[in-house]
Amino acid sequence: MALLRKINQVLLLLLILTLCGILYKKGRKGAGPGHQADEVSEPPEDLEDEIPVVICAAAGRLGATMAAINSIYSNTDANIMFYVVGLRNTLSRIRKWIEHSKLREINFKIVEFNPTVLEGKIRPDSSRPELLQPLNFVRFYLPLLIHQHEKVIYLDDDVIVQGDIQELYDTTLALGHAAAFSDDCDLPAAQDVSRLVGLQNTYMGYLDYRKKTIKDLGISPSTCSFSPGVMVANMTEWKQQRITRQLEKWMQRNMELESRCQVFGAFSAGSEAAALGWETQTLALPQRARRPVGELVCPGPCRDIQTQPQQMM
């Protein structure tokens, strides 16, 4: 009995010491400047300061993607998080391209885009099949790919940024506006190329105004189009206004209308509809971004653009 009593006393003492230790640790945490509960409830400082940039990396255009990323990284001191989007069969190649170059120092995440979301929404186009590549539609699905950021920059892989991306990120989006785009009509170089090759940077160049549904939109054929290749988006507004669903409806209607570019129909209809509240405006990087190849547009009034004529999707 005496032995059992001593064992019980020792166990009781250990229990008391354990409780004292727990209370002591809790007291130190509560008295310290960085309370753990506050750290969990508040977003990390690094995440608050991050500028998320989404860019696609197609199998045949990895070099262009790396050039675009390098142009952003080389011209800013901001904390950039690159979300590099690719198809499953290219993800390992994308990682190798980054990790075996000077870009290995960047902060990045590789995101897989599942092309099955496009089934039944796009119509094969034998004349311009490259315009219907799955990654061309990544911009429609930003909230499904990027979750923890309120504001996101999307750039096409043929954009070369010559200024600080922080200025673009600081673009103010008015209340109720889900995104801001750049305007094409103030682009002298693009206008010159358009005259030479017969293309236009107004909606007449992209939408088939012979279709009644297009006419019913009420968009003037001479209205300046915009570039969906440079975009600042508010993810909260995007989700609340169900922008992705609206775009998918236009993608399906495009199969019936046979328009050359459903993105203009979708975004333009939204920009004039109070329910969607899209904003079409010039972004804040004049003379700092250019497209040396690829699409016929550029963010801002870029005076020194040299482009090759290639119609937008």
pLDDT of residue 76: 94
3-state DSSP assignment of residue 232: strand
**Eight-state DSSP code of residue 244:** H
- The token pair at 78 is 């901001």
Local confidence band at 212 (pLDDT 50, 70, 90 cut-offs): confident
Residue 87 lies in a domain: yes
Q: Is residue 261 in some structural domain?
A: yes
Least confident of 49-58, 69-78, 185-194, 244-253: 185-194
Kind plus residue range of the DSSP H or E element containing 289: strand 289-290
Mean pLDDT computed over 174-202: 60
Domain total of the chain = 1
On whether the CB atoms of residues 263 and 207 are closer than 8 A, the answer is: no
Q: Who's near 301: CB < 8 A, 6+ residues apart? A: 186, 187, 282, 286, 287
User: Which one is predicted more confidently, 184 or 44?
Assistant: 184
Residue 129 is predicted with a pLDDT of 64
**Is the model more confident about 52 or about 44?**
52
Has residue 159 got a pLDDT over 70?
A: yes
Contact 214, 257 (CB under 8 A): yes
For the chain, the first-to-last Cα distance in angstroms comes to: 89
Domain enclosing residue 243, as ranges: 45-290
Domain for residue 299, yes or no?
no
Task: Look at residue 205 and tell me whether its pLDDT is greater than 90.
Answer: no
Residue 159, domain CATH: 3.90.550.10
What is the spatial order of strands in the sheet that 51-56 belongs to?
Answer: 107-112, 80-86, 51-56, 151-155, 226-234, 179-183
Residue with the two structure tokens 């170059």: 101
Is residue 1, in this structure, part of any structural domain at all?
Answer: no
Give the range among 1-5, 188-192, 225-229 with minimum mean pLDDT. 188-192
Which is nearest to 280 in space by CA: 180, 213, 192?
180
Amino acid at 30: G
pLDDT tens digit string along 291-312? Answer: 332 222 323 332 222 222 222 2
Closest CA to 140 of 68, 245, 214: 245
State which H helix or E strand residue 22 sits in: helix 2-31
From CA 180, how far away is CA 78, in angstroms rounded?
21
Query: Is residue 179 situated within a structural domain?
Result: yes
User: Is residue 301 situated within a structural domain?
Assistant: no
45 has pLDDT over 70: no
pTM: 0.66
**Closest to 313 (Cα-Cα) out of 184, 159, 137, 158:** 137
171 neighbors 180 (Cβ within 8 angstroms): yes
Per the document, the length of the chain is 313
E strand or H helix at 73, and its extent?
A: helix 62-73
| Residue 131 pLDDT class (50, 70, 90 cuts) | low
Which amino acid is residue 178, in one-letter code? A
The per-residue DSSP string of 180-218 comes to: EEEESTT-HHHHHHHHHHT--SBGGGTS-TTSHHHHTTT
Q: Is 8 inside a domain boundary?
A: no
Does residue 4 surpass a pLDDT of 90? Answer: no
* Residue 298 maps to a domain: no
Q: What is the rounded distance in angstroms from the CA atom of residue 46 to the CA atom of residue 44?
A: 5
